[in-house]
Amino acid sequence: MNGTLAVARREISEKAFVLIAACVLALVPFLVTIIPGVRQFDSHQVIATTAAFLSVGFAWGLAIILGATVVGRDLTERRLSFYFARPISSAAIWFGKMGASLVLVFASFTILFGPAIAVAIRAWRRSWDIDLLLFLGLVVGVSIVLLLVAHALSTMVRSRSPFVLIDFAMLIVVVLGTAAILLPLIFAFARELATFVASSVGVAFLVAMIGAGWYQVAEGRVERRQSHRAMSLALWSSMGVVLALAGLYVAWVLSAKPADFVSLHEFDQPAKGPWIVVGGQAKHRLDFRPTFLINTDDGSSQRIGGTYRLGMDAFFSGDGKTVGWVTPASLTGQRFELVLQRLTPGAKPMETGIPVRPFSELAITDDGSRVASFGETTTIWDVSQRKLLGSFRPPRERVRRWLSYFPDANHLRLIAVLADEERRLSEASRDHTIRIFEYDIARRAFTVRGETHIMARNVGINANADGSLLILRAYDATPEQPFVRVINGDTGARVVDIAEPRSGPGGVYRILSNGVLAVSQQGDHDSVVRFYTLDGTLRHELPLPGVRRMSLIGEIAPGKLLVDAYRGADLTRRDQVKFWSAMVIDSTTGNVVTRTRSGLWPISGDWYSGFSRDPRRHLLAAPPLFVDENRALVSWDPRTGARKIILPPGTARSGG
């Protein structure tokens, strides 16, 4: 320590003129205010701004100069022997010199910035967005980086050794290695994790540079080339170890298995087939949210790209034989493309090259052969040929929501709910237009097929299994009671309006495949499911005492509706699995035909708004999935009562 202080003190006294220069320059921010033309501005603001630029420029410039000379020049001019000829350790020489340089840099900065900011602190806060402490931290951090980098570069250049080519090659290797480690995380939208890894590598690089400097002085001593070699050896081998560790860590992160989930946030299950898509947070992996394609028959899984952060979950085609997801298509993460994978043995993910905008919609034909990518311009693509089949500009204004699907491979149907804020019936109620658009791929024509109007606060929409009928539910249709309207899915012509007998916090509604309308109404203490015929006749009413929330999951057979009901007192704690139970209701009789014991929380309906963005899928060929009381993801087949664990206990918690 004595040696370090002696070296530092000597270095500071040798370069004390820098502090004198800083003292002189500290007057500049104040003198600037008297320059004609500058006087018109707020003087405090001028002082703060001038001092900020001057002090930062001076500090960083000084850091570069000192870094480039503090050891390198002594080596070149053969004056490092002055220290080595005395009882001073190599560490004391290195840390003394570096410490002195940092003291000079920070002292100069303080001399330049301190008086100005003391006078103009209020102006600083007014005109600079950056917090003062953050600003100071930035100055300190960047100064240290510049000092060390300048030292390393100076050592390399001054040695005049061909070894500098190896340095250059190693620098490229480190940069590429770091990019290779970070890119999978960036592409997986694990920004927090990528930042953590990048920061760790950055800090490790700084530590490696400090360590390499010490090793350079300790091993190279007064010999220039040996000094360079020692520094490079220490720096690059340390970075090799750091990158290897970072690479292993990232590999471990990426190796997450479905069993590592601690919460789920993404889910899709096609009506047919054994495959599901599950995404969530895995153990100890910060914000890395892996998404898996899981075969519920054999338990096999495959990690796929997950872009849920862009509001774009993975999805299945109607036949359950194709799965799609979105992946970044550029290093900057600004462009995205669609990836499709056939769910056949040995099939690989296929990057389609089809551009996708974040937070936009996608629609896929039932056979997975064509895809529509929505945006300001919606494009329709043939997947196998990667060919653009057509494009159109969908309506953007006043759109509150829309549904989209391919009724067949040649037509894209778009049902938009448009709200007119100007036309209001009351404060809460405004005119909603439900307009049916269709794009004819063969004719490349975008037409309006029909529309209907509903005055309501909000309008929900759903479709029957073939899309021929749409069911609309008006929420808070003040002054009317909430009501359900069924319209023709092709023309928008009204089929029937059904007024609901009482108001409530909403419910769910389906057009079942036997033509029966199922409408649930949820109350504060109990709920009811009503079944109507298409002429509006109430056929059956099934009261569900104690049920405060319910989910119409789908049909397990035509007219057999699977419902999950919540009986808990606290509606904000619907993740309490024990209060959920499932039942199958026969819509033709209005009776419950199967009932489970409690403890099945539906993945679909409550946790997620629906299985798919395609509204037509209600008939469930595959056993639906639930979360059981042990937080395991299970499939339960109401037809047979078979229950199967898909993800082990503890994995299926609600995540965001």
Partner 1 sequence: MTNVIEVEALTVRYGKRTAVERASLAIPAGSVYALLGRNGAGKSSLVRCLLGQQKPSEGHVTLFGRDVWRDREELMQRVGIVSEEADAPPDMRVSSIAKFCARLYREWQQSAFDSRLERWEITPSARFGNLSKGQKKQVSLALALSMTPELIVLDDPTLGLDVVARKSLFEEVIGELAERGITVFLTTHDLAGIETLADRIAIMKNGRVVLEEELETLKSRFRRIRTTTAAEPEGVVTSRKWGSGAEAIVSNYDEAAAERFAAAEVAALSLEEIFIAVDGDGGVA
Q: Which residues bind partner 1 (CB under 8 A)?
A: 2-3, 6, 9-10, 13-14, 78-82, 84-90, 219, 221-223, 225-226
Minimum Å gap between C-beta 24 and partner 1 is 19
Q: Which is nearer to partner 1, 12 or 563 (CB)?
A: 12
Q: Which is nearer to partner 1, 6 or 173 (CB)?
A: 6
Listed in order, strand segments (DSSP E) in 185-318 are 261-268, 275-282, 291-295, 301-304, 315-316
Interhelix angle 224-254/163-187, rounded to 10 degrees, is 20
Q: Which is nearer to partner 1, 84 or 252 (CB)?
A: 84
189: left (phi over 0), alpha (psi -120 to 50) or beta: left
With tokens 């037809």, the residue in question is 639
311 to each of 37, 87, 322, 359, 481, how far by Cα in Å? 52, 65, 20, 5, 34
Minimum Å gap between C-beta 92 and partner 1 is 8
Minimum Å gap between C-beta 161 and partner 1 is 9
**Angle, CA of 454, 460 and 464, to the nearest 5°:** 105
With tokens 């479709």, the residue in question is 463
Number of H-type helices and E-type strands within the chain:
12, 32
311: left (phi over 0), alpha (psi -120 to 50) or beta: left
Minimum Å gap between C-beta 74 and partner 1 is 9
Instruction: Establish whether the linkage from the previous residue to 479 is cis, with ω within 30° of 0.
Output: yes
Backbone angles phi, psi at 543, to 5 degrees: -70, 140
Minimum Å gap between C-beta 102 and partner 1 is 19
Minimum Å gap between C-beta 21 and partner 1 is 15
HSE-CB at 496 with a 13 A cutoff on CA atoms is: 16
Minimum Å gap between C-beta 100 and partner 1 is 13
Minimum Å gap between C-beta 223 and partner 1 is 5
Minimum Å gap between C-beta 155 and partner 1 is 17
Q: Which is nearer to partner 1, 80 or 415 (CB)?
A: 80
Judge contact between 476 and 456, C-beta under 8 A. yes
Q: Which is nearer to partner 1, 94 or 607 (CB)?
A: 94
Beta-carbon contacts of 163 under 8 Å, excluding residues fewer than 6 positions away, are 156, 225, 228, 229, 232
With tokens 């602190």, the residue in question is 121
Q: Which is nearer to partner 1, 74 or 629 (CB)?
A: 74
Beta-carbon contacts of 216 under 8 Å, excluding residues fewer than 6 positions away, are 71, 94, 155, 227, 228, 230, 231, 234
Q: Which of 355, 381, 378 is nearest to 369 (CA)?
A: 381
Do the bridges between strand 370-373 and strand 362-364 make them parallel or antiparallel, or are there none, so unpaired? Answer: antiparallel
Q: Which is nearer to partner 1, 10 or 539 (CB)?
A: 10
What is the C-alpha to C-alpha distance for residues 233 and 615, in angstroms, rounded to an integer? 62
Q: Which is nearer to partner 1, 70 or 403 (CB)?
A: 70
HSE-CB at 458 with a 13 A cutoff on CA atoms is: 7
Q: Which is nearer to partner 1, 14 or 466 (CB)?
A: 14
What is the C-alpha to C-alpha distance for residues 178 and 31, in angstroms, rounded to an integer? 47
Beta-carbon contacts of 367 under 8 Å, excluding residues fewer than 6 positions away, are 317, 318, 319, 321, 322, 409
Minimum Å gap between C-beta 8 and partner 1 is 11
Minimum Å gap between C-beta 215 and partner 1 is 12
Minimum Å gap between C-beta 10 and partner 1 is 5
Q: Which is nearer to partner 1, 76 or 594 (CB)?
A: 76
Q: Which is nearer to partner 1, 120 or 217 (CB)?
A: 217
495 to each of 500, 534, 540, 643, how far by Cα in Å? 16, 7, 20, 40
